[in-house]
Amino acid sequence: MSGEERAPGWYADPWGTQGERYYDGTAWARTTRRPGGLDDAPDRQTAPAQALAATGGEVGAGQAAGASGRAQVPVVPPGWHPDPWGTAALRWWDGTRWTGHVSGVVTVPSPTSEREASRWARLAMLWAGPALGLYAISSAFQAIWIAEHWEEISNDGGRIPDGASTFASTMGQLAFLALGAAAVMFLMWFYRSAAFAAASGLPARRRKGLAVASFVIPVVNLWWPYQSTCDLLPQGHPARRKVLRWWLLCLGSAVAGLAIVGSAFVDDTVLAATTAVTVGLALFAAVAARDMIVSVVAAHGELLVPTRI
């Protein structure tokens, strides 16, 4: 059947679930089933609300609930209605379900936009890891100074007097600015990727704006960003393991970075070990982020593969 259009029917879900998804001859439907199920076509979907209002929500002959106990399905004539999935202005309702036929301006983001943003995000990760490592080293030098002058600081109500390492402070500020620039590039890609995923039908636990904001919201930023990044991929997609690896490395580097100040009060060996661990985790997290970005973009590219067999 090479070069021929795929016939309507049930196929292995290209969106990554463990079941099968129905292809109506034009596009993949939102309906899935267990592999080998007996359904010949998707179950009836929710009828257009405005059409129900126009018809009074009447139930046609033969549509009453039967012995199976299925709810009554209102009969709505075929027609164009606002797309309930939000990917186009109008979608064709064939009388029993939504089809793949759309009309009007399609709002599915261009994959080119996400790919361009991903290139900048991957480039940003090249300096994000070293910048975070440099920030950790500058924090270690400042932590040494704080530990040596702790009695003076504690007697002055916790105010850190002048005299801390100016060089270390300057390096830390420069590293922080570099990290900020990298974060902006990463979040720009993340927003475009989340928009593409949502328009492609991938379920998400929160809207793209909130998903981006979750990276800077205290407390919830411990797990929301991980969940939202997983939502960029189809359920069960193997690249979700890369997301988990990246997020664990990020959390590990953050925890190790917080431990730098405390380790300065122990001894230099502990401080050096903590700083080395922080730098290592930061570098590995940046590498994992690049790998994760590549995998997400590739997975989205698979959703765009022409439906031919």
Tens-digit pLDDT string for the chain (309 aa):
334 467 777 788 776 666 777 777 766 766 667 776 555 444 445 667 655 555 454 444 444 444 444 444 457 788 888 777 666 667 778 888 777 666 655 555 567 889 999 999 999 999 999 999 999 999 999 888 888 877 777 776 656 555 556 788 889 999 999 999 999 999 999 999 998 888 777 888 999 999 999 999 999 999 999 999 999 998 889 999 999 999 999 999 999 999 998 999 998 999 999 999 999 999 999 999 999 999 999 998 887 654 333
| Cα distance between residue 25 and residue 30, in whole Å | 14
pLDDT score for 36: 60
- Closest listed residue to residue 24, CA positions, set 45, 50, 6: 6
| Cα distance between residue 145 and residue 264, in whole Å | 9
| Cα distance between residue 107 and residue 293, in whole Å | 23
The region, left, alpha or beta by phi > 0 then psi within -120 to 50, assigned to residue 2 is: beta
- Closest listed residue to residue 26, CA positions, set 101, 93, 82, 78: 101
Other CB atoms within a 10 A radius of the CB of residue 276 amount to: 15
Other CB atoms within a 10 A radius of the CB of residue 180 amount to: 10
Q: Are 41 and 32 in contact (CB under 8 A)?
A: no
| Cα distance between residue 84 and residue 96, in whole Å | 14
- Entry pTM: 0.65
pLDDT score for 63: 43
- Closest listed residue to residue 75, CA positions, set 90, 61, 89: 61
